[in-house]
A and B are shown apart, each in its own frame.
Chain A
Amino acid sequence: MRRHLNTIYVTSENAWLRKDGANIVVEVDGQERGRAPLHMIGGVVCFGRPGASPALMAACADAGIALSFLTPNGKFLARMEGLRTGNVLLRRTQYRMADDPARAVPIVRGIVTAKAANQRTVLRRALRDHGDRMEAAARATIETAEARLVHIARRAAAAQDVATLRGHEGEAALVYFGAFDAMIQGDRTAFSFRGRSRRPPLDRVNALLSFLYAMLGHDCRSALESVGFDPQVGFLHADRPGRASLSLDLMEELRPVLADRQALTLINRGQLKARDFAIDEGGAVSLTEDGRKAVLVAWQDRKKRDLRHPFLGETMPMGLVPHVQALLLSRHVRGDLDGYPPFIWK
């Protein structure tokens, strides 16, 4: 497992990244704004239009650091990755397994089961943290949803085909997002949630979730690529050109833990305000530059927090979880494990 290395997020549109010795230097308008030794960095994520020097690109490729370019809202544009990633044996088995239901179903089963179980944990933690301050109706909504998610997780753990599992996944999403609004405390006028909207996000909560999912998707993709998988061929998500289906698969079980919980914390602690979001004429909501910065700082901090990994039984920073899960999936594909142990959070 690699150490938990920092990701550099470059949010200034006109930034320029270059190499200076063994350091990466970020410049804005010819002024140095930051520098860091390359060996401390796991990835560089640029929002907007920053440029990077070929010398820096070569150094990143050599050190196994991925350079990614995203739109300001976190939509993936391009990524530069060195030669080191990619293991043809692993990929070939990955493709074979994706084509073979007997081998794909158990993996999907684990992912869907863990997702429902983790959604349930988010609800449970909301009750634990805010239960006594909640209105009775909100508490009842959460309690009912929690109980239903337990059943969905149990049924998912026994399901025999991908279509059934997709059904369970959809049902869990309805139940969970049906109770999501009840978990929101704080500024209720600015933050209310009436179900998922993605293209585009139609309220502030959705805008925040979308942005966090984009960050998580990025981390999952890096993790999968660094153990040698092809992130485009998934088990739960069908192949579609341009879609990183395996990253989406891995994200499923991690969304509630790493992203949803983070969104609730940011809102409930008042770390984000209404003015951190912009609403365009068509009703699409997105984070402002300041809002994005606040989210990224919180995201980085959260990744440093320790948790206990359920399968390995070790304490590790949250930021390593996508890497550990990618590794465990690769060990299953290579035959060390008789199944894929998903990440179950309690």
Chain B
Amino acid sequence: MQPPPPDPAVEDALVPVSALQHYLFCPRQCALIHVERIWAEDGATAEGRILHERVDGGRPDRRQGVRTVRGIALRSLAHGLTGKADAVEFRERGAAPYPVEYKRGRPKSHRADEVQLCAQAICLEEMFGQAVPEGALFYAQTKKRLIVTFDEALRALTLQVAADVRTMIAETHTPPPRFGPGCKHCSLADQCRPTRLEKPPCVQRWLTAQLDD
């Protein structure tokens, strides 16, 4: 028997898995993208998109007994998440699905990539009714697979971030910028204007001052 279709309100409130990563990088960036729908494509995001188009585009392939399915739609109604997996590997019959996410660049100090992968695992668990203990991040620059174990701490962090993002989107709130090293790599810096808007002056006073020679 087919399960009943989900409640439309629940479907509407699903948070994109990619938003969690944006939020950990910078909450304001997350709001600019997911609340205000500001879109910016610079070299970095274009490169990322091309990489994704390539991994999404392929059909399932089979290599050394591993079947890889690319670009599957992911969803968890229990945790309010939606997204897409770069690749999910099925190693042998009955084994847990194994998510693999492709990343430009190299492993980062913040946990955004791990959280994104863990959110995918949480979705896969609900979809396949099966525990997903582990996955991998593949970094293009180092050409290395980094194994990620979905332990309690990572799961708790992932769900906490998901809850924070959901609140932010529901309140349609955009937090003020916090200028930091990440701004240099942020494709939205031109729209965000972190240096000027972090501590903006009182505009009326600024205006009056402009009239003095």
Contacts and interface: CB of A to CB of B under 8 A. Distances in A.
A297 interface: no
B193 A312 contact: yes
B174 interface: yes
Nearest to B176: A336
A344 B210 contact: yes
A153 B207 CA distance: 11
A2 B207 CA distance: 26
A335 B200 contact: no
A110 B197 contact: no
A61 to B, nearest CB: 13
A79 interface: no
Interface string B172-203: 10101100000000000011010011001011
Q: Chain A interface mostly helix, strand, loop or mixed?
A: loop
A104 to B, nearest CB: 14
A89 B210 contact: no
Nearest to B206: A341
Interface stretch (B19-27, B34-42, B48-56): B34-42
A341 B197 contact: no
Given A89-B36, A312-B196, A313-B196, A342 B174 contact: no
A334 interface: yes
A228 B207 contact: no
B153 interface: no
* Interface size bracket, A side: 35 or more
Contacts of A117: 210-211
A2 B190 contact: yes
Contact of B39 (A84, A150, A332, A335): A84
A336 B202 contact: no
A334 B197 contact: no
A157 B197 CA distance: 23
B36 A335 contact: no
B190 A1 contact: yes
Contacts of B196: 311-313
B2 interface: no
Given A154-B211, A312-B193, A339 B37 contact: no
Nearest to A337: B200
Given A89-B35, A89-B172, A1 B191 contact: yes
A117 B39 CA distance: 34
Contacts, number: 69
Contacts of A313: 196
Contacts of A337: 197, 200, 203
B42 to A, nearest CB: 9
A327 interface: yes
B204 interface: yes
Nearest to B40: A2
Given A113-B211, A157-B211, A331-B197, A311 B206 contact: yes
Given A89-B36, A228-B36, A336-B174, A113 B193 contact: no
B174 A334 contact: yes
A228 B172 CA distance: 15
Contacts of B36: 87, 89-90, 228, 334
A338 B197 contact: no
A341 B209 CA distance: 12
A146 B31 CA distance: 45
A228 B191 CA distance: 12
Contacts of B190: 1-2
Interface string A312-338: 110000000000000100011011111
Contacts of A312: 193, 196
Contacts of A340: 203
B191 A341 contact: no
Interface string A112-129: 011001000000000000
A113 B207 contact: yes
B141 interface: no
Given A312-B193, A335-B174, A336-B176, A110 B211 contact: no
Contacts of B64: none
B208 interface: yes
A150 B36 CA distance: 39
Interface in A152-201: 153-154, 157
Interface of B: 35-39, 172, 174, 176-177, 190-191, 193, 196-197, 200, 202-204, 206-208, 210-211
12 contacts: A1-B191, A106-B203, A113-B207, A153-B211, A154-B211, A228-B38, A312-B196, A336-B177, A337-B197, A338-B202, A339-B202, A341-B206
Given A228-B36, A339-B207, 16 more contacts: A87-B36, A89-B35, A114-B207, A117-B211, A228-B37, A311-B196, A331-B193, A334-B36, A335-B174, A336-B200, A337-B200, A337-B203, A339-B203, A339-B204, A340-B203, A342-B207
Cβ-closest 7 pairs across A and B? A339-B203, A1-B190, A344-B210, A336-B197, A341-B203, A337-B200, A89-B172
Interface of A: 1-2, 64, 84, 87, 89-90, 106, 109-110, 113-114, 117, 150, 153-154, 157, 228, 310-313, 327, 331-332, 334-342, 344, 346
